[in-house]
Amino acid sequence: MMAAIYATLLIAFILDLLGHQRFAVPCLFISLALCILLFLWEIYSPIYGFRMPWLQVEVAPLSAPFAG
């Protein structure tokens, strides 16, 4: 997948350099779509999903005016 992303990016660059902007930009957006798919696949965990449970926050104790 990573190879496909870089291949389409390189093709987009070469097409742009050769003056074929009409085809270069769609090629770039194909590589962008592949990149987003791979990014989502990389960060997805079968256990946690897209969550990051190691990031913990504590609920601060409420001060008097807001308590109760």
The verdict on 37 binding other proteins (CB under 8 A) reads no
The span from the CA of 50 to the CA of 16, in Å, is: 36
CB of 38 to other proteins, least distance (A): 7
The span from the CA of 21 to the CA of 30, in Å, is: 14
Residue 49 has phi, psi (to 5 degrees) of 70, -135
Using CB under 8 A, which of 33, 44, 49, 52 touches other proteins?
52
Strand partners, 49: 45
The count of residues interacting with other proteins (CB under 8 A) is 29
Residues lying near other proteins in the complex (CB under 8 A) are found at 1-7, 9-10, 12-14, 16-17, 21, 24-25, 28, 31-32, 35-36, 38-39, 42-43, 52, 54-55
